[in-house]
Amino acid sequence: MKLLTHNMLTSHVKGVTKGYPLIIKATEVKVNELEFNAQFVSRMIPKLEWNALIQAAEWLGRSQDLPSTLIPNYENDEEFLHKVHRILLEVEVIEGCLQCPESGREFPISKGVPNMLLIEDE
Amino acid sequence: MCKCLLVLYLQFYNEQEAKKYSQNSRMIEIQTQMSERAVELLSLPEDQPCYLLDVGCGSGLSGDYLSEAGHYWVGVDISTVWFLSEVLWFLCQLELITAQAMKAGFTGGMVVDFSNSSKAKKFFLCLFAGVSGVLPKGLGSESTDRGVSNQAQFTAQRSRFRNMKGKSVKKSKDWIMEKKERRRRQGKDVRADTKYTARHRKPRF
């Protein structure tokens, strides 16, 4: 699971109002190199929940490089875009779980795929 | 910009079949073609990698194509393996999705590729939101001069004579007329249409 995906995921447990962002508890993380595309990264940045991304990076112990708020004119900062590219698309959670911040329900991540399926009662 | 495209092409397999499905070269070929056509229908900006959501991605065969095309994508599926019951669930959702989409103000319609061939025919339900979507033309449209449309725009009209896929209800007059027309196109001998054509017969007939 890439952090780009995590940024879009929310808990949909019945009755939960604040199911975002899901807390990442990773037991296995891999870094898989992916071709850098500045255009894609700079177009995706405004669509992200930046705070959630910083938090996710913190949970994975990789928040050192990233600013807590977006810098203006980030589109032209190649170094910054590279850092975002890395954390967003190259860092992958292979094993672990995502925890709903309100209900505590855990969604397992297996082989890089989070299982968000709920049982009927939930 | 938000575009949504639903591809109506479903195959049902259990776990053993699913393995065969992924590895079968013909299936891979079909999936690749379908994905290619689906991306085409999305009319994405040229040479621009986009962020796509593949709902019902299965084992990721369609996703392979998306990656090849340079896009970033997220795949969602109810199961790692397709079970019959889950796909039936999906089919029920389809009608719901379309109804909801229309209520929510999506524009769009059905695009049919190769509408004349029962084997090659593929349905694409195209929904556009936030963009004025021009419905793309279906492939294999040489027969359009005969007035047979391979598109079906969403209308406010509710017709009793067409079901979800834009096909006529079987055995209705529409269906019979279409079948006769189809057979004529195939060069077969077909009775001329009269006032008795498709007239309802009593049971003992």
Read out DSSP for chain B?
-EEEEEEE------HHHHHHHHH-HHHHHHHHHHHHHHHHHTTPPTT---EEEEET-TTSHHHHHHHHTT-EEEEE-S-SS--HHHHHHHHHHHHHHHHHHHHTT-EEEEEEESTT-TTT-EEEEEEEESS-PPPPPPS--GGGGGT--SEEE--S---TTB-TTSPBPTTSHHHHHHHHHHHHHTT---PPP-TTTTPPPPTT-
**Predicted confidence (pLDDT) per residue in B108-154, tens digit:** 777 777 777 776 777 777 766 656 667 778 887 554 444 344 555 55
Pull the structure tokens for residue B183.
């057979």
The answer to whether B74 contacts chain A (CB < 8 Å) is: yes
Has residue B17 got a pLDDT over 70? no
Has residue B76 got a pLDDT over 60? yes
CB A117 within 8 A of CB B78: yes
Which pLDDT does position B141 carry in this prediction? 56
Which pLDDT does position B24 carry in this prediction? 75
- In this prediction, residue B27 has a pLDDT band, given cuts at 50, 70 and 90, of confident
CB distance B74–A8 less than 8 Å? yes
Task: Find which of A40, A42, A90 to mutate to test the B interface (most B CBs within 10 Å of its CB).
Answer: A40
For A93, phi and psi rounded to 5 degrees? -85, 120
Which pLDDT does position B205 carry in this prediction? 65
Q: How far is CA B75 from its chain centroid?
A: 20
Q: Domains in chain B, please, with CATH?
A: 3-136 (3.40.50.150)
The answer to whether B45 contacts chain A (CB < 8 Å) is: no
CB distance B72–A40 less than 8 Å? yes
Which pLDDT does position B171 carry in this prediction? 77
Rounded mean pLDDT of B18-24?
Answer: 63
Q: What is the ipTM of this complex?
A: 0.84
Local structure of residue A88 (DSSP, 8 states): I
* Cα angle for residues A9, B40, B152 (degrees, 5° grid): 95
Rounded mean pLDDT of B78-82?
Answer: 59
Q: Domains in chain A, please, with CATH?
A: 3-114 (2.20.25.10)
Pull the structure tokens for residue B178.
């279409």
Has residue B32 got a pLDDT over 90? no
Which of B3-7, B48-52, B109-113 comes out lowest in average pLDDT? B3-7
**Contacting residues of B for A112, CB less than 8 Å apart:** none
Distances (CA, A) of B79 to A46, B6, B58: 32, 18, 7
Q: Which residue has the tokens 């077909």?
A: B190
Map residue A30 onto helix, strand or coil: strand
Q: Who has greater pLDDT, B177 or B22?
A: B177
Closest CB from B49, B78, B80 relative to A37: B49
What mean pLDDT, rounded, does chain B reach? Answer: 71
One-letter amino acid of A105: R
According to DSSP, the residues that pair with B112 across neighbouring strands are B123
CB distance A117–B72 less than 8 Å? no
**Contacting residues of B for A40, CB less than 8 Å apart:** 49, 51, 72
Which pLDDT does position B20 carry in this prediction? 62
Neighbours of A64 (CB within 10 A): 8
Mean pLDDT by 10 residues, chain A (122 residues): 94 90 96 94 93 95 88 91 95 96 94 89 78
